[in-house]
Amino acid sequence: MFKILEGLRVVESSAFVACPLGGMTLAQLGADVIRFDPIRGGIDAHRWPVTQEGKSLYWAGLNKGKRSLAIDAGKPEAQELLGELIAAPGEGKGIFSTNLRADKGWMSYEALKQRREDLIMVNLLGSSDGTSAVDYTINCAAGFPFVTGNYHTQEPQPVNHVLPAWDALAGVNLALAILAAERHRRLTGQGQLVKLALSDIAFAMTGNLGYIQEVQINENERKGYGNFLYGAYGSEFKTSDGRWLYIVVVTNYMWKELIRVTDIGDAIDAIEKRHNLDFRQEGHRFRASKEISDPLRAWCAQRTLAEIEQTFENTGVCWGPYRTFGQMVEEDPRVSTANPMFSELEQPGIGRYLVPGSPLDFGAFTREPPRPAPLLGEHTDEILSRDLGLSDVEIGRLRDAGLVAGPVEIP
């Protein structure tokens, strides 16, 4: 982590991927992020993947470096405490992030603004029309499943993307929204409510990449092309030892290098002449993707992955091996402590393992190891005393009343 955001404090009420990721993104840059959850854990406390003992690796992965407050937010006294925490005075404070429904009641912007006029609140919604949505329902509405995994089938079957890409983009945009609103407040003294919809993240990117315009201007419904790279050249290949790799060409230099290194120039020239194409144009390479791949498949099938890697080393060929998660951890030095982004940490209740810090690398700051995710309610007493100024007697009373707890073993 870095300390570039030291002095910024964000209170978070969140679940699942996007909102927790936004908070962790800020925490790994030095912000003080306080996540509050129900005393028995939030709705994402048991999300898979989990350990054999049922501990959520998912939750631990998305909440590194935060402080945790376990509190019964359904009780008026607890709501009062949370309102004070969210709207606390001071520079860098008064910032609230949530992806839970917060349009009315004590957690609404209007209610919290009564406590602090320049409050900043970022509310992540599912759909911009107000309906419930998650990454997987947004993805299926954005066209991509019909061009994923299919190759010109008569009746294409939708294939959902395993990676929650829209959640990931939403989390980063949520962090960006907080920083932009905080900068505006420092310059003008004005707080604000910022709304961000997961559906808008997906549809904006769909438009930015030209998919919407392709339908409107060309009146063309994009088909699936399997692993061929649309509009350029790319395909998957199997090696003699049963491994897989992907080769991609997006520049003429890459194309020339690929032909030179694999020595398939004669076969490529024949394809070019047969179809009256010019492979200096990437669109022509795309149109002939299947035929171009035939001599390359034969070339790869005669070599092991190690031999191909040695052949491609120090050339202009752009390629990469396919790896399972296990192969990635075992083989790729970029996913190890050889990469400064990674460190090993001891996660309470789980054990010692490899975790990433921020992918950003600030030249003016020294990278520090990531901090573990907190136990549920690990910082309850600290937050109540240091941040809210409660005495030990008052904290004891809240605990006896069942309003707060921690550290808590999630059942």
Tell me the sheet residues that pair with 71.
404
CA distance 331 to 317: 21
Tokens of 295: 């001599």
Is the CA virtual torsion 209, 213, 219, 221 positive or negative? positive
Residue count of the chain: 411
Cis peptide before 407 (omega within 30 of 0): yes
CA distance 205 to 142: 10
- Name all contacts of 209-216 with Cβ < 8 Å and 24+ positions apart: 211/143
- Give CA–CA dist 290/292, Å, rounded: 6
Site of tokens 């009343």: 401
Count CA within 13 A, CB hemisphere, residue 264: 19
Residue 332 CA to its chain's centroid (Å): 21
Q: How far is CA 326 from CA 48, 163, 319, 335, in A?
A: 17, 17, 20, 11
CA pair distance 206, 127, nearest whole angstrom: 15
Instruction: For residue 50, give the DSSP letter.
Output: B
The identity of residue 205, as a single letter, is: M
Sign of CA dihedral 97, 101, 107, 113: positive
Known catalytic membership, residue 118: no
The partner residues of 34 in beta bridges, in order of sequence, read 11, 67
d(CA 242, CA 301): 9
Could you tell me how far CA 390 lies from the centroid of its own chain? 37
Q: Which residues contact 42 (CB under 8 A, 6 or more apart)?
A: 14, 15
Q: With residue 181 as reference, give the H or E element that holds it.
A: helix 165-188
DSSP letter assigned to residue 385: I
Among candidate residues 37, 44, 135, 167, the one labeled active-site is 167
Active site residues: 167
